[in-house]
Structure 1
Amino acid sequence: MESFLIVEYIGIISASISGFLFAVRRACDLLGIFIAAFLTALGGGIMRDMLVGRELYSFTHYMPVLLVLGAVLLSAVLGLHKSSRKGLEKSLIFIATDAIDVVSFSIVGAVVALGFGLNIFGVVLIAFVNGVGGGILRDVLLNEIPWLLNTGFYGTVSLLVGLIYFGLYHLGFDGIITMFVLCAFGVVLRLIAYYKNWQLPKINYEN
C-alpha cells in the first residue's frame, strides 16, 4: 500500500464522523446520514480525481466506502451524537475530526497533484479542493453556510498545507514521516485558529 493512503484513510474516517455528526444535528434519517458522511469523506477526493484525470479511487477500490460505513456504524454504536446534537460547532470531537480530515485530504491532494506533474498553482489548488471539497458538498446538501466562508483559517490551512508540502517535496522530504508531521502541524494550527477565533482581514461594505 502506498504510504500516503494511510493519511487518506485517516482523513476518510475523521470526515465520516464529522459528516455523521452534522447529519444527526439536522435530524436526517439513516440514508441522509450515510450520504452526508459519504460526501464529506469522499466528495473532495472525487473532485480531485476528476480534475487531474485520474480514475475515481473511491469507485475503483472498496476500502473508502467500507471505511465510511464502518465509521458511521461505530459512531452510532458509541453514541458520539448524544453529546453533539446541540452546539455542534463547539463540540471538540467535531472540531477535531473536521480539522484532521481537512489537513489529511489537503496533503493527499498535494501528493496526487505532484504525481501528475502539476506546478505549484495546480498542487495548491488540488490540495484545497481535496481538503475542503467534501465539507462544502456536505454543507450545501444540508443547507448550511459552508464553513469555508465563515470559519477562520479553514480554507487557509488547506492552502498552506498544500504549499508547504510542495516545498518539502522539492527539498526531498516526501516520506510518510513528513506527511504525519505536516498533518500534526496543520491540525494544531487549525485548532488554535478556531479557538483563538483567528480571521483573515475582511472588506466591509459601506453605502
Structure 2
Amino acid sequence: MLFNRHKSQLPSADEALGGRAERPFAVPERHTVLGNALLGPYPDGLLVADFGLGCFWGAERIFWQAPGVWTTLVGYQGGHTPHPTYEEVCSGLTGHTEAVRVVYDPKTTSYGELLRLFWESHDPTQGFRQGNDVGTQYRSALYTHSADQAAEAETSRAGYQSVLTSSGYGEITTELLPAGPFYPAEAYHQQYLDKNPAGYCGIGGTGVSCPIGVARVAD
C-alpha cells in the first residue's frame, strides 16, 4: 500500500506520536455491501472479533463475504497514538497494525470459523510484513474480547502451528492480546475493494489448511 515506510521496530509509548483527542475525519454510517451500521452499538446477541492480517483492504473483503458476518470495518489497533491517521500509522510511529473489526452472529457462525479464515488467508510467520507489504502496520494480530475468545485463539494458534511446522514453515509471529482501542480508518478505506473491485488486495495464505475452528452453529 502507499506510504509504506518499511518500519521494522515498534515504538515505545514514549516514542510514539502524540495523536489527538478526537477522530480527525468522518466515518460512513453504513457498510456498502452488507448495509448495516459500521459503528456500534450493535444489535443484541452479536459478538465482536478483531483481526490483523496484512493490508486491511483485502482482509476486510474476506470477512464480509463470510456467512454470519453482520458488518465489518477497518481501522488501527494495537498501538499507542490516539485517533491516528493512515499516514501516521504507515510512518511506523504509532505502533498500530491495520485491523478488521468483524461483528458476527454466533447463532450462524462461530469465532472458531473466523479464526480458520484468519489463519488460512495470510502467512502468520512473517513478522512485520505480509508478502510485499513491509512494516509494523502489516503484522499478524488477534485482539480478543473475552476470556473464551482468548482461550480459543491460543488453542487455534497452537493447532495451526503444528500443521505449519509439518509443512516446513517457521514460528507463528501473531500478536495475541486483549482488545484495546480500535480506531476506525478513513472513509476511503472502508470496503475499499467494493468501491474499487480491481484495487490492490495483497492478501494471500500459505495454502496450509487449518484443522482448528471448524464452523459450528451455537445452540
TM-score of the superposed pair, with normalisation by structure 1: 0.28
Which structure shows the bigger proportion of residues in helix conformation?
1
Which structure shows the bigger proportion of residues in strand conformation?
2
Larger RCO: 1 or 2 (CA < 8 Å, sep 6+) = 2
TM-score of the superposed pair, with normalisation by structure 2: 0.27
